[in-house]
Amino acid sequence: MQDARKAQTTKSARTPRGERAPTSDAAAPASPAASVRRSPSAARRRRADAAESEIAGIRITSARRVIDADSGTRKLELVRYYERAARWILPHLRARPVSLVRAPRGLSGEMFFQRHSGRVPLPGLTEHEGLDPGHPALLTIDTQRALVSAAQMDVIELHTWNASVDDIERPDRVVFDLDPDPALGWDRMIEAAQRTRALLAELGLESFCKTSGGKGLHIVVPLAPEAGWDDAKAFARAAAQHLASVWPTQITATMGPEHRKKKIFVDYLRNARGASTAVAYGVRARPGMGVSVPIGWDELEATTGGAHWTLATIDARLAQIEHADPWAAYGRVRQTVTAELTIGLETGGK
Ligand code: ATP
Ligand code: MN
């Protein structure tokens, strides 16, 4: 399974940790007498610091720590982003089991991929026992406070399941993850995404596109939760294999760089029970801090890559989305995948 992929461990000895006590702390009084003398302004400063680092009721520690040396992003900026983007992210997070990519030392340190509750609880997150047999509780992030709390606990990336905890055996979406051979031009990716959309439309399925925040695109097909995991995955596999059979020079449905040479890999494996995909509006733990951003199909041609938007440019995009949400119709779509649809793809695609 995709999620068995090993956690990234990119420890770098030469990169400074970037964690420094706030300069105001360095000026802390040395003696009790000095303390008394300076207390009014010191207290004011401390209050100002506390106000700055208390967000959505969560105390933010190491707020000034640089988490990405590339962009100079500090922890506080990430936390603040999750605070203000909560209204856009939460509809995609709420009630969905979430996997977390935690980077306690920033991108230059070791990162942890966490799929279940751990020894130390994450304040604000909801635990769901028994949904993943043989494992600790699954987690959901259902409130702005939980989202900020996760960021305080060094979570950078959020990956969600394709089902909600209320109906865990019946996925409510299928995801196609389009990964390019790095040597390919982005225009080929745009074309592959358009072809995927066209196939789905032929099958009567509306789909939605987002940048991954990394190298590629994610195409999401919302579903009414009716089919089970096996049927949803069989459909996704049949659709990906159909695309590969119709455009064998451009698209592959087989994992591994040797199959992907000069091609786009349409990955359907994210549709298994327990697999997850980076959430819409979530930040990626990669240099430059890309953000996964929903786009309208008519906007695809103007994109330049999977990390078209980053933490540095996301606010202007959120302002646009405020006027015209490219996924406005997402919640209104009622559609299902059936065994007949899958069989039709399997027999018609050859
Ligand atoms: P890109 O566009 O660059 O391919 P992506 O979001 O599509 O970005 P990855 O970040 O490579 O792809 O994630 C691939 C899949 O593996 C996701 O489904 C994710 O939930 C899962 N995953 C990511 N990191 C880990 C990890 N350290 N351990 C286990 N699974 C992981
Ligand atoms: Mn991908």
Tell me the per-residue pLDDT of 64-118, one tens digit each, with 9 for 90 and over. Answer: 999 999 999 999 999 999 999 999 999 999 999 999 999 999 999 999 999 999 9
In three-state secondary structure terms, 40 is helix
216 lines ligand 1 (CB under 6 A): yes
- Work out the average pLDDT over 271-288: 98
pTM of the model: 0.86
- Residue 52: the pLDDT is 62
Residue 10: pLDDT band (50, 70, 90) is very low
CA distance 153 to 104: 8
- Does residue 22 form part of some domain? no
- Does residue 12 form part of some domain? no
pLDDT at 15 over 90: no
276 lines ligand 1 (CB under 6 A): yes
- Does residue 2 form part of some domain? no
* 104, 143, 150 from 126: Cα distances, Å: 21, 10, 11
286 lines ligand 1 (CB under 6 A): no
Closest ligand 1 atom to residue 111 Cα is 27
Closest ligand 1 atom to residue 7 Cα is 27
- Does residue 119 form part of some domain? yes
For the chain, percent of residues with pLDDT exceeding 70: 85
- Does residue 48 form part of some domain? no
For the chain, percent of residues with pLDDT exceeding 90: 81
pLDDT at 266 over 90: yes
CB 341 within 8 A of CB 314: no
Residue 53: pLDDT band (50, 70, 90) is confident
Which has more pLDDT, 72 or 23?
72
- Does residue 315 form part of some domain? yes
- Work out the average pLDDT over 269-281: 97
Which 8-state DSSP code applies to residue 28? -
- Residue 257: the pLDDT is 86
Helix orientation angle between 229-246 and 186-202, rounded to the nearest 10 degrees: 120
CA distance 260 to 248: 11
pLDDT at 202 over 50: yes
- Work out the average pLDDT over 47-71: 86
- Note the residue count of the chain: 350
CB 98 within 8 A of CB 276: yes
- Residue 57: the pLDDT is 92
CA distance 233 to 185: 29
CB 140 within 8 A of CB 95: yes
pLDDT at 30 over 80: no
pLDDT at 22 over 90: no
| Mean pLDDT of the residues in the chain | 88
CB 311 within 8 A of CB 77: yes
Task: Give the model confidence (pLDDT) of 116-158 as tens digits.
Answer: 999 888 999 999 999 999 999 999 999 999 999 999 999 999 9
- Residue 285: the pLDDT is 98
Q: How far is the CA of 114 from the centre of ligand 1 (A)?
A: 12
160 lines ligand 1 (CB under 6 A): no
CA distance 164 to 95: 5
Q: What are 260's two structure tokens?
A: 């992907």
CA distance 107 to 35: 38
Residue 47: pLDDT band (50, 70, 90) is low
pLDDT at 277 over 50: yes
212 lines ligand 1 (CB under 6 A): yes
DSSP-assigned letters across all residues of 45-87: HHHHHHHHHEETTEEPSSTT-EEETTTTEEHHHHHHHHHHHHH
CA distance 242 to 350: 8
CA distance 123 to 149: 6
Q: How far is the CA of 213 from the centre of ligand 2 (A)?
A: 9
336 lines ligand 1 (CB under 6 A): no
* Angle in degrees, CA 8, 11, 15, rounded to 5: 135
pLDDT at 2 over 80: no
Q: How many CA atoms lie within 13 A of 184 on its CB side?
A: 25
Total domains in the chain come to 1
Q: Given phi > 0 = left and psi -120 to 50 = alpha, else beta, which region is 56?
A: left
Q: How far is the CA of 114 from the centre of ligand 2 (A)?
A: 19
pLDDT at 48 over 80: no
Query: What sign has the CA pseudo-torsion 99, 104, 108, 111?
Result: negative
pLDDT at 1 over 90: no
- Residue 115: the pLDDT is 97
214 lines ligand 1 (CB under 6 A): yes
Residue 12: pLDDT band (50, 70, 90) is very low
Which H or E run includes 190? Answer: helix 186-202
Q: How far is the CA of 266 from the centre of ligand 1 (A)?
A: 14
Task: Give the model confidence (pLDDT) of 165-183 as tens digits.
Answer: 999 999 999 999 999 998 9
- Does residue 246 form part of some domain? yes
Closest-lying ligand to the alpha carbon of 114? 1
- Does residue 19 form part of some domain? no
CB 108 within 8 A of CB 43: no
Q: From 79, 67, 77, select the one nearest 152 (Cα to Cα).
A: 79
Enclosing domain of residue 290: 58-347
- Work out the average pLDDT over 271-279: 98
Can you point out the beta strands (E) in the chain?
54-55, 58-59, 66-68, 73-74, 98-102, 112-114, 126-128, 138-140, 155-160, 173-180, 208-211, 217-222, 251-252, 264-267, 277-278, 294-295
**What CATH number is attached to the domain comprising 107?**
3.90.920.10
pLDDT at 162 over 80: yes
Which has more pLDDT, 343 or 30?
343
b/e per residue 245-279 (b: at least 16 CB within 10 A): eebeebbbbeeeeeebeebbbbbbbbbbbbbbbbb
Closest ligand 1 atom to residue 212 Cα is 2
- Work out the average pLDDT over 298-303: 98
- Residue 149: the pLDDT is 97
Considering only CA atoms, give the Rg of the chain: 22
